[in-house]
Amino acid sequence: MSETEVITGEAPTRYAQALLELAEDAKSLSAIEKDVKSLKVMFTDSADLTALINSPVFATEDKVAALTSIAKKAKLKPLTVQFVGLVAENRRAEDLPGILSAFEEMVARRKGSQVAKVTSAKKLTAAQVTSLKSNLKKSLGRPVEVETSVDEDLLGGFVVRVGSRLYDSSLKTKLEDLRLTLKEA
């Protein structure tokens, strides 16, 4: 599976719930949702940003200053900037990717849909994503929002994670199964 896979624990879920409630109280849920998507892209695209939040070398004050500065430069809403600063101030900067994922899942549930995380060997085309969405909707009985990522180690095929369910049709897994079967014989 991809190294960027985020497992959400109890603390990130609580922070995500707090952000959701703050966004609803401020009547700016859709704006905060866009900010969260932007932040997720930043963490996915920037190894330096990920290193910053995970490094014990940087002082908490430096993490707060850097993250709030980045959020302001990205023109995120003041509520999002303040939230990111608070998370870093509370020494939870390394939990930010998990908080953002948990927030998106909570928003999807509120909308009556689910989030499916699809990891494929190659970048999926728009037509493939649309087809995948419709097949998942038929299978799950509700709308599905798809997050895609690429992991070339899969060799071919894809892995879909919806909540606690995992559908693995990757070539890597099939080859591993074949290797184990041959080893037993």
pLDDT digits (tens, 9 = 90+) for 127-163: 998 998 888 888 888 888 888 888 888 888 889 888 7
Which run of H or of E encompasses 173? helix 171-184
Chain centroid to CA 120 = 15
pLDDT at position 3: 42
Question: Residue 5: what pLDDT?
Answer: 47
Give the C-alpha separation, 29 to 118, whole Å. Answer: 25
Judged by DSSP in three states, 156 sits in: coil
pTM across the whole model:
0.70
Q: What is the pLDDT of residue 8?
A: 52
Q: HSE, CB side, 13 Å, CA atoms: give it for residue 89.
A: 8
Helix (H) or strand (E) holding 150: strand 144-150
Q: Domains plus CATH for the chain? A: 10-108 (1.10.520.20), 113-184 (no CATH)
Other beta carbons within 10 Å of 125: 9
What is the Cα–Cα distance from 162 to 148, expressed in whole angstroms? 12
- Please give the structure tokens belonging to residue 47: 């190894």
**pLDDT < 70 stretches in the chain:** 1-9
Q: Give residue 64's pLDDT.
A: 94
Strand partners, 120: 150, 158
What pLDDT score does 9 carry?
62
